[in-house]
Copies of this chain bind each other. A is one copy, B any other.
Amino acid sequence: MTATQTTTDLRSAIDKGNRQLIEALSNRDIAMIRECYTTDAQVLPAGFDIVSGRQAIGEFWSGALAAGVASAKLETQELAEGGDSAWEVGRYRLHGADGGQVDHGKYIVIWKQEGGKWKLHRDIWTTSVSQPA
């Protein structure tokens, strides 16, 4: 169930999917962000209800970018394939326009193939920054 036990093919496909998302975010390319997700994807961000579908996901990321996210780093910790989907546990870092780290935490992504490409299907993350009581 660890990355090393997973097929290399899956790992490089997921790496590619993550690189694409990182690139889309840093280019503020909402159309490309939407393409990283399956058509019926869901994002589950803190402070919002479930965000369903590419259109709504694009709007969510548009808001997050406007709020000061300039770039992201993603690091896969674990990847497991099962059936027509795969699940990934990873860590993220978000940076602002000045390069400073604005947030860091961890995530789970359920990946699914669509049109022969692995895309984010379910996406949830939590900050590791301790919160006011």
Number of copies: 2
Question: Contact flags (1/0) for A83-113 with B, using CB distance below 8 Å?
Answer: 1111101000000000000000111101010
Q: Which of A11-19, A27-35, A44-52, A53-61 contacts B (4 or more CB under 8 A)?
A: A44-52
State the Cβ distance, A89 to closest chain B Cβ, in Å.
6
Question: Contact flags (1/0) for A66-98 with B, using CB distance below 8 Å?
Answer: 000000000000001111111101000000000
Are B127's CB and A47's CB within 8 A?
yes
What is the total number of residues of chain A having a CB less than 8 Å from a CB of chain B? 33
Q: Does A122 count as interface, using CB distance less than 8 angstroms?
A: yes
State the Cβ distance, A75 to closest chain B Cβ, in Å.
12
Known contacts A81-B82, A108-B110, A126 near B44 by CB under 8 Å: yes
Are A130's CB and B81's CB within 8 A?
no
Known contacts A108-B108, A110-B108, A122-B108, A128 near B87 by CB under 8 Å: no
Subset of 13 A-B contacts with CB under 8 Å: A42-B89, A45-B126, A46-B131, A48-B128, A80-B83, A82-B84, A82-B86, A85-B87, A87-B122, A89-B122, A108-B108, A108-B110, A124-B124
